[in-house]
Amino acid sequence: MNPALHGRSYASASAVPQFNWEDPLGSRNLLTEEELAVSETAERYCQEQLLPRVLQAYRDEHYDPKILREMGELGLLGATINGYGCAGVSTVAGALITRAVERVDSGYRSSMSVQSSLVMGAIHDFGSAEQKEKYLPEMAQGKIIGAFGLTEPNHGSDPGSMEAIAREHPHKNGYYLLKGSKTWITNSPIADVLVVWAKLQATGKIRGFLVDRKTCPPGTLETPAIKNKTGLRASITGMIHLEDCPVPQENMLPEVEGLKGPFTCLNSARYGIALGVMGALEDCVARARAYALERRQFKGNPLAKYQLVQKKLADAATDAAYGTLAAIQVGRLKDQGKATPEMISMVKRQNCDRALHNARVLQEIFGGNAVSDEYGVGRHVANLYVTQTYEGQSDIHTLILGRAITGIQAFV
């Protein structure tokens, strides 16, 4: 009989196991030594190096590009890629990194996801050998910063209708001219290389292009920042305006055509979000718990003594534990070649929705004090709203799942 299956003999276990509110369903038990080590490295960096900066950065809407360098030094960028100086860790390990970063701030995680999953991922999965050699090693070190240009102003949830276009250069052989606008592009104002998806005029098919900022003639590439954001203020977001920007043919991603390209990258990034947002939620639980234990009202009782407060904590801890297990499961299936995009839609949607919902409920524990940004919970709430809307707003994933369940599409 399988040694894992020794039936009703657990009572003889010598040490009594303890409930751990930070990992209520023992998800650590599912991780390998390597994954635990990766997670610990990332958590330590984030708590020691990122956490102290985030309050001011968020206030100022400032993102320090040095952060990507620091992450690169620790091997946290493009970590699931084999070779090119990348760590080559498991999908779950990669997501544990996003969780550690998002425990501090979803904006920092967004910036890293773009670098790792969207840009390095696109180049790794669909790039030529030359493209990989040229970009991946320096991106892994955070020396080259990437951005991913898919979303357009008028087609947020429907990239298939994109208007950006690449036409053959009228007189410069081997060149395309790119024209179009992209918006809500994380990292775009500071990016060195931008993966831009555009329709090839000749075929009408969507293709990916590596737009290398330093080679763009003046006026052909503009990447203005979007300011006064209501969330993700610790990351930098902008637009991409391409005005007949010449891009050499060898900068087109050769291995993919159509929406499959961006969707594969998004899938990867979405997966990272699914575990990432659990970090933000867990941080809200930890902050709310600490506050509830310390804050006293009515005869000196800590808030933690009130049933209405305990329910908020119990509900949130449950959703965090469930979401973590689901994300780990999908990561394992991904590495076994058994994950489907719908699975990722499911965990992305559910984990973002539950993280946001519970963060808001936990915020109530702080009462009026949550209005002070120093408690951090308001920042998570504002950030998590954004995670719910990007890389597939929840309603879109609902309809993706509905289609997968019923076989009928209802996008109308």
Residue numbers annotated as active site:
391
Which helix (H) or strand (E) segment holds residue 179: the answer is: strand 175-186
**Minimal CA–CA distance to 146: which of 74, 223, 85, 204?**
223
Is residue 129 a contact point for a second copy (CB under 8 A)? no
User: Least distance (Å) from a second copy to the CB of residue 134?
Assistant: 18
x/- map, 289-328, a second copy, by CB under 8 A: x--xx--xxxx-xx-xxxxxxxx-xxx-xx--xxx-xx--
**Minimal CA–CA distance to 276: which of 395, 119, 121, 117?**
117
x/- map, 41-70, a second copy, by CB under 8 A: ------------------x-----------
Comparing CB distances to a second copy, the nearer of 126 and 176 is: 126
Is residue 25 a contact point for a second copy (CB under 8 A)? yes
DSSP tag of 82:
E
x/- map, 158-177, a second copy, by CB under 8 A: x--x----------------
**Minimal CA–CA distance to 189: which of 346, 371, 10, 61?**
61
Comparing CB distances to a second copy, the nearer of 21 and 175 is: 21
Residues 177-196, interacting with a second copy (CB under 8 A)? 184
DSSP tag of 201:
T
Is residue 156 a contact point for a second copy (CB under 8 A)? yes
Residue ranges of the alpha helices (H) in 76-161? 91-104, 106-113, 121-126, 129-140
| Distance from C-alpha of 390 to C-alpha of 379, rounded to nearest angstrom | 17
Query: Would you list the DSSP string of 251-262?
Result: GB-TT--STHHH
Distances (CA, A) of 47 to 97, 98, 103, 104: 12, 13, 9, 7
| Distance from C-alpha of 348 to C-alpha of 53, rounded to nearest angstrom | 28
Is residue 9 a contact point for a second copy (CB under 8 A)? yes
Q: Is 80 helix (H, G, I), strand (E, B) or coil?
A: coil
Is residue 399 a contact point for a second copy (CB under 8 A)? yes
Is residue 203 a contact point for a second copy (CB under 8 A)? no
x/- map, 247-286, a second copy, by CB under 8 A: -----------------x---x----------------x-
The binder of a second copy chosen from 187, 251, 358, 388 (CB under 8 A): 388
The binder of a second copy chosen from 343, 355, 359, 362 (CB under 8 A): 343
The binder of a second copy chosen from 199, 342, 358, 359 (CB under 8 A): 342
Say if residues 92 and 31 touch (Cβ distance below 8 Å): yes
Q: How many CA atoms lie within 13 A of 24 on its CB side?
A: 17
Residues 348-387, interacting with a second copy (CB under 8 A)? 349-350, 360, 363-364, 367-374, 378-379, 381-382, 385-386
User: Least distance (Å) from a second copy to the CB of residue 338?
Assistant: 5
